[in-house]
Amino acid sequence: MRTFLSLCCGLSLAAIAVGCGGGDSEPAADSQPAGSDGKPHVALIMKSLANEFFSTMADGAEQHQQEHADEYQLTVNGIKDERDLARQVALVEEMVASGVDAIVIAPADSKALVPVLKRAQDEGIVVINIDNRLDSDVLADQGTNVPFVGPDNREGARKVADHLAGQLEQGDHVVVLEGIRTSFNGQQRRLGFEDAMQGAGIEIVDSQSAQWEMSQANQIASSMLSEHPDIKAILACNDSMALGAMAAVKAAGRTGEVEIIGFDNISAVQEAIREGRILATADQHGDQLAVYGIEYALKLLADPEATVEDRETPVDLITAEDLQ
Calculate the average pLDDT of the chain.
89
Q: What is the pLDDT of residue 6?
A: 37
Listed residue (44, 105, 37, 46) closest to 72, CA to CA: 37
Q: What is the pLDDT of residue 52?
A: 85
* pLDDT band (50, 70, 90) for residue 32: very low
Q: What is the pLDDT of residue 36?
A: 58
* pLDDT band (50, 70, 90) for residue 50: confident
Q: Tens of pLDDT along 260-287?
A: 999 999 999 999 999 999 999 999 999 9
Q: How many residues does the chain have?
A: 324
> Which has more pLDDT, 201 or 48?
201
Q: What is the pLDDT of residue 4?
A: 30
Go through the domains of the chain in sequence order and give each one's CATH number.
41-149+287-307 (3.40.50.2300), 153-283 (3.40.50.2300)
Q: Tens of pLDDT along 84-111?
A: 899 999 999 999 999 999 999 999 999 9
Cα torsion 191, 193, 194, 198: sign: positive
Q: Tens of pLDDT along 101-149?
A: 999 999 999 999 999 999 999 999 999 999 999 999 999 999 999 999 9
Does residue 19 have a pLDDT over 70?
no
